Structure 1
Amino acid sequence: MITINTVTVIGANGSMGAAVAGIFASFGNVKVYMVSRTINKSLEGIEKAIKSVRADSIRGHLIPKTFDDLAQCIVESDWIFESVAEDYTVKESVNSTISRHRKPGTIVSTGTSGLSIERLKESFDMEGQSLYFVTHFFNPPYSLPLCELIPSNQSDKEITYLLKDYLEKVLFRKVVVLKDAPAFLANRVGFQFMNEALQFAELYQDRGGIDYIDAILGPFTGRGMPPLVTVDFIGLDVYKAITDNLYNNTSDCYNESFQLPDYMNTLICEKKLGRKCGQGLYKLERDSTGKKHIYVYDIQSDSYRSQIQYSFYFVEKMVAAIKESKYDEAIKILINNDSEEARICRYFLQKYITYSVLVADEIAGSIHDADTVMAYGFNWVPPLALLQLFGGKEVVIDHMSKDSRLTSFIEPFSNINIQKSNMDFRRYLRAKF
């Protein structure tokens, strides 16, 4: 087990920097230097960290610092966690400073959600590169324990193992070790699903668009919140950065599903960035009595309207079956319903299964890592477990063969050896609309 006594978090006022600092201080019981541009920002970060782990007892472990103090913080640290803007230029500038001051043996990691470690490592000498990693935590890390650990080609193999051990046994993370790839595994799968949902909202804007698609892909399909509500939670600007990276740096048959619809760019230009701004794909307002009113962006009219409470027969029947724990019956209802909404739902779930398997086979150590990342990073139904609920690989392939949009994915999917899932689908399929 590696010994970590002092950690420096750079970008500690950001939501992820602060939350990860809280994890280090609470579970790791270490001293954490909270480094931001100003002391006030670092003090804000301390409050965010305490709130994120719900423990004021860690306050004494969190030391506010500024970039003027960074060199000394680096010298004193056993681990430096960088959590600055998701931009190569910004991260490389910070890495250059870290490289000048880090002492031999110090671990450095970046919290990037998808930038290449092979490029980012170049700021360090050979010893520094051997101890440089991606440690991609998920937000909020107290609730979503996944950590994607990505070593570079120069990373020390023994340290990789020891770091994984520390993340699992001390910080209580669910760790998957992955190859360097755009957006890694969880975000690549999750953002494919969400971005195609955004594209379908544009395609079906005459039927309602955003809330129409969310109603088809709600909690009963196995995710904690509908996909486009999730985009709002992430923040449209952050979402765009990750999706653009995927669109520009992947070349598989799913590439076009990462193209951002025009209306998203319109909202971003208007600074309607999601929940953090009070409006994005959805808008929440309170009346004089304090009652909440949810509005949704209408793509056709380029304005907000009241959210529609859609009623789909297959959804009502599925929710009723799930409420009675009749999961097989719920899937049969979905498979046997021939409405346009049911066909859309089947398409998304079957594509979710196939894409998860294909990407895990490409960049993960095990096909089961697809289940781990989606369950513990997104709180979504594990794809291999969902595959079993559908009746297994051959049954899913048979259904895919009846949808012209999915037939091109059958051959690569059929060539992968798929074993039984180690996880359960039941807790993720919610009896909610």
Structure 2
Amino acid sequence: MKNRKINRVAVLGSGVMGSRIALHFANIGVEVLLLDIVPKELDEKEKAAGLTLESKAVRNRIVDTALKTTLKSKPSAIYHSKVAKLVTTGNFTDDMPKIANCDWTIEVVVERLDIKKIIFDEVEKYRKPGTLITSNTSGIPMQFMTEGRSEDFRKNFCGTHFFNPPRYLRLLEIIPGPDTTKDVVDFLMHYGDLYLGKETVLCKDTPAFIANRIGVYSIISAMHTIEEMGMTVGEVDKLTGPLIGRAKSATFRTMDVVGLDTIVNVANNLYEGLPHDESRERFKLPRVVSELSERGWLGDKTKQGYFKKTKDENGKKKILELNLGTLEYGDRTKAKFKAVEVAKDIEDLKERIFKLVNFDDKAGEFLRTTFYDVFKYCSFRMPEIADDLYKIDQAVAAGFGWEMGPFQTWDILGVKDTVEKMEAAGQKPAQWVYDMLASGAETFYSAIDGKKAYYHIEKQSYEVVPGTESLVLLESLKETNVVWQNAGTTLYDIGDGVLNLEFHTKMNSIGAEVIEGLNTAITRAEEEGWKGLVIGNESQQFSAGANLAMLFMFACDQEWDEINMMIAQFQNTMMRMRYSDVPVVAATSGLALGGGCELSLHSDAIQAHTETYMGLVEVGVGLIPAGGGTKELTLRVSDRYMNGDVEFNALQEAFMNIATAKVATSAYEMKEMGFMNATSAFTLNRSRVIADAKQKVLELDAAGYTQPFKRKDIKVHGRSGIATFEAGIAGMQYGHWASEHDAKIARKVNYVMNGGDLSMPTTVSEQYLLDLEREAFLSLCGEQKTLERIQSILFKGKPLRN
């Protein structure tokens, strides 16, 4: 592979995708030049200011406005506010020569070949030979874009199709052109995986490539089924969201967010461009889609689509839902299916999907019909759009936010049984599926020596999925590498003398079974000579915190001794982690809240996926962090004190993080909030987090890991510190920033972080602060308003401010 370095990137086009792609490169520390067209006329503000078309502010207005809009977007496109400084704006007319200083130029203009060719003409004038030039096209063939271009351009040109929003959707499709060198393809695959954190999938240059070909088919085809079965918007979104491991936006909300016009354009283009597709007719727009498109009800961009935001008689925001029969808006419908009632409490996604699809009601019929349809379609796309089936799963899952791709889902339902049911439903799959079953292979995926393997159609055998050799995939270790397990955890041997403890409780909450798992893992690691322990999983969340249901039950029954014992046990386990004989590394991603945050803080290091959302959020349920969280932030602030003087600014910042339940929205913010110590690091690709955490354990062990000593030198300020913070708490209460109960909780946090009722500044031990934590926690468990907050979270899923 050619030794390329990407220090500066030029992004040509600052629309929704261009500005977000630019900011994602800035997220990883790359300097970006973002360019767009020069306005043709002044707007009213510019006229009033006396500006001319030659003014720089006017000439860069389009790109500057686009960037500012994106920086304000939610969810945020950036890891931290500081990264925006890495983006420099300009325009095509004045600043195109600057791309000569860039290592990679990415074209992200409108999806029109004639416009792209005009841009490429300009790129050819200024681009430095040998540098990368790629297009973010979602469907224009590569050969059309390279026609008439120089040899150097063609060799270094490739399609790089990001999905929106590029910070969050993990897919990056790499589509080589007719003359793209292997060196360029290899580099982009490697760079996308390791540095951009993407599921980087190599695609053939076929219409819509992989993800949109399958994803748009599944949406439009499902719309036909919805029409045929008389389903409502609410019913469909209930069945096609997190319940089956897909994005929260499900079907119709996704269409509103993406824009119906986008989906319509892709569907129409596919219908026109796929005359030999056996399911071509399913790309024809259903009646409802055509009607909404004609009316211009395109979703969020037109303020109405399948949903419409309005206000009720009291001025409160209200969301209306489209009646697919009458095309009139009304109150949102609530889906009521027996299948959902039976399956909703099944935590394991695979078990839940199996139950839902095989249930004999309308929900089961809908899922069977749509699943079998997509299974059939995917089987016939081999080898047209991909030679290997795993690429379809990778692309669709990463591009559309599915936890599992079509072939993975088919495996769950049983390939042979499902084929028989598909035949009965008139959805017979491609011949190669029958050949696979005849060869004795019963699944699309298997494991080889603990590595993920897929069925290779041509070889009729299982092969390790390329690119996964260096990963630690727990799913592939379940049959061979389980060391110990209980109802809530599994302990794996992940190789090289390292253990991994996986949680599999609901939201990976921490209860008795997880506490048992943690203690067992540490004991076995210490007594059996393992090099260390990783705590991590492959689910969406690291841990949403402690098991509130058990706490609520004890508090309602006033079982104070039980609560005291439960908290003491949690504290002792955290301290055991901190002071074990072997290094412990937390491999975090998704939510790491409350107890999940405290567990991470007591590890020797955190190996965090950049999309880790960590915080001590106990105030939201009327409590304070009592698993060592309050103690730990106090300790860390104490370590920052200079010359023996208390830095109240640092302590106040830590105090406010707890008192306001602040959550870091990226690994970068975790570092800023003091959650990541000097040994901690972050990983951009979610699939690599456990492997990187394992490597961190090996590094700590190789460096001669020694058991830490228990701290008795934590500086606290006593009464004078309490008094200082009390003024701020009172001010927040008087200013209506905090309720009376918020203030009461904040005072408990204040008391603990300043070391309690001490007459002067002094040093205390960790155990001293842990005891204060537990005492404060217990007292709040007896508060009615705390119980109301816990009840609201448990039974309504919503935080309560009281």
Under a length normalisation based on structure 2, what TM-score does the superposition of the two structures give?
A: 0.49
Cα distance change, pair 332–272 in 1 and its aligned pair in 2 (3 A): closer
| 1:213-362 paired onto structure 2 within 5 Å | 213-224=236-247, 225-250=249-274, 251-287=276-312, 289=314, 291-320=316-345, 322-323=346-347, 325=348, 327-328=350-351, 331-335=354-358, 337-359=359-381, 361-362=383-384
2:71 aligned with 1:45, yes or no?
no
1:64-111 Cα offsets, whole Å, 9 max, x none, are: 111212431333322111111122222222223223332311211111
Q: 1:175 Cα shift?
A: 0.5
1:156-215 Cα offsets, whole Å, 9 max, x none, are: 1112112222222222222111110111111111111111122223334xx354444334
Q: 1:48 Cα shift?
A: 4.6
Unmatched tracts of structure 2, length 5 or more = 40-59, 453-472, 477-537, 541-802
Q: 1:8 Cα shift?
A: 1.5
Secondary structure, in 3 states, of the residue corresponding to 2:384? helix
Secondary structure, in 3 states, of the residue corresponding to 1:20? helix
Match of 1:187 in 2: 212
Partners of 1:203 and 1:333 lie apart in 2 by 20
Match of 2:33 in 1: 32
Match of 2:116 in 1: 91
Q: Say how many residue pairs are matched.
A: 421
Cα distance change, pair 114–101 in 1 and its aligned pair in 2 (3 A): same
Match of 2:798 in 1: none
1:411 to 421, 431, 451: 431
Match of 1:431 in 2: none
Secondary structure, in 3 states, of the residue corresponding to 2:88? strand
2:390 aligned with 1:386, yes or no?
no
Secondary structure, in 3 states, of the residue corresponding to 2:381? helix
* Contact 1:208/1:298 (8 A) holds in 2: no
2:392 aligned with 1:370, yes or no?
yes
Match of 1:133 in 2: 158
Partners of 2:316 and 2:539 lie apart in 1 by 31
Q: 1:57 Cα shift?
A: 1.1
Q: 1:28 Cα shift?
A: 4.4
Q: 1:338 Cα shift?
A: 3.0
Q: Which has the higher contact order (CA 8 A, sep 6+)?
A: 1
Partners of 1:137 and 1:415 lie apart in 2 by 35
* Contact 2:161/2:172 (8 A) holds in 1: yes
1:267-303 Cα offsets, whole Å, 9 max, x none, are: 2233221122221122122336564422222233232
Read off the aligned partner of 1:420 and give its amino acid letter: S
1:29-78 Cα offsets, whole Å, 9 max, x none, are: 22323434451221123335544114221222111111212431333322
2:446 to 420, 423, 430: 420
Q: What is the percent sequence identity of the aligned residues?
A: 26
Q: 1:145 Cα shift?
A: 1.8
Partners of 2:291 and 2:212 lie apart in 1 by 23
Match of 2:689 in 1: none
* Contact 1:198/1:210 (8 A) holds in 2: no
Match of 1:9 in 2: 11
Partners of 2:349 and 2:81 lie apart in 1 by 43
Cα distance change, pair 351–48 in 1 and its aligned pair in 2 (3 A): same
Read off the aligned partner of 1:6 and give its amino acid letter: R
* Contact 1:24/1:30 (8 A) holds in 2: yes
Partners of 1:5 and 1:397 lie apart in 2 by 50
Cα distance change, pair 343–83 in 1 and its aligned pair in 2 (3 A): same
Cα distance change, pair 163–395 in 1 and its aligned pair in 2 (3 A): same
Secondary structure, in 3 states, of the residue corresponding to 1:240? helix
2:174 to 127, 133, 149: 149
Tell me how large the CA RMSD over aligned residues is. Answer: 2.7
Secondary structure, in 3 states, of the residue corresponding to 1:103? coil
* Contact 1:384/1:420 (8 A) holds in 2: no
Cα distance change, pair 9–363 in 1 and its aligned pair in 2 (3 A): same
Match of 2:106 in 1: 81
Unmatched tracts of structure 1, length 5 or more = 429-433
* Contact 1:110/1:133 (8 A) holds in 2: yes
Partners of 1:415 and 1:32 lie apart in 2 by 52
Cα distance change, pair 37–351 in 1 and its aligned pair in 2 (3 A): farther
* Contact 2:8/2:30 (8 A) holds in 1: no
Partners of 2:8 and 2:357 lie apart in 1 by 52
Match of 2:787 in 1: none
Cα distance change, pair 415–245 in 1 and its aligned pair in 2 (3 A): farther
1:125-156 Cα offsets, whole Å, 9 max, x none, are: 22211111110011111111210000012101
* Contact 2:23/2:84 (8 A) holds in 1: no
1:175 to 197, 200, 203: 200
Partners of 1:410 and 1:165 lie apart in 2 by 33
Q: Which stretch has the larger CA shift, 2-11 or 261-270?
A: 261-270
* Contact 1:388/1:420 (8 A) holds in 2: no
Cα distance change, pair 57–338 in 1 and its aligned pair in 2 (3 A): same
Partners of 1:397 and 1:44 lie apart in 2 by 53
Match of 2:221 in 1: 196
Partners of 2:117 and 2:106 lie apart in 1 by 14
Cα distance change, pair 311–268 in 1 and its aligned pair in 2 (3 A): same
* Contact 1:27/1:172 (8 A) holds in 2: no
Partners of 2:386 and 2:372 lie apart in 1 by 20
Q: 1:4 Cα shift?
A: 2.0
Cα distance change, pair 231–415 in 1 and its aligned pair in 2 (3 A): farther
Q: 1:229 Cα shift?
A: 1.8
1:218-267 Cα offsets, whole Å, 9 max, x none, are: 43122113222211111011111211121111222121111112432332
Partners of 2:309 and 2:208 lie apart in 1 by 30
Partners of 1:147 and 1:399 lie apart in 2 by 34
Read off the aligned partner of 1:27 and give its amino acid letter: I
Q: Which stretch has the larger CA shift, 364-373 or 308-317?
A: 364-373
Partners of 2:284 and 2:97 lie apart in 1 by 44
Cα distance change, pair 26–220 in 1 and its aligned pair in 2 (3 A): same
Match of 2:88 in 1: 63
Under a length normalisation based on structure 1, what TM-score does the superposition of the two structures give?
A: 0.88
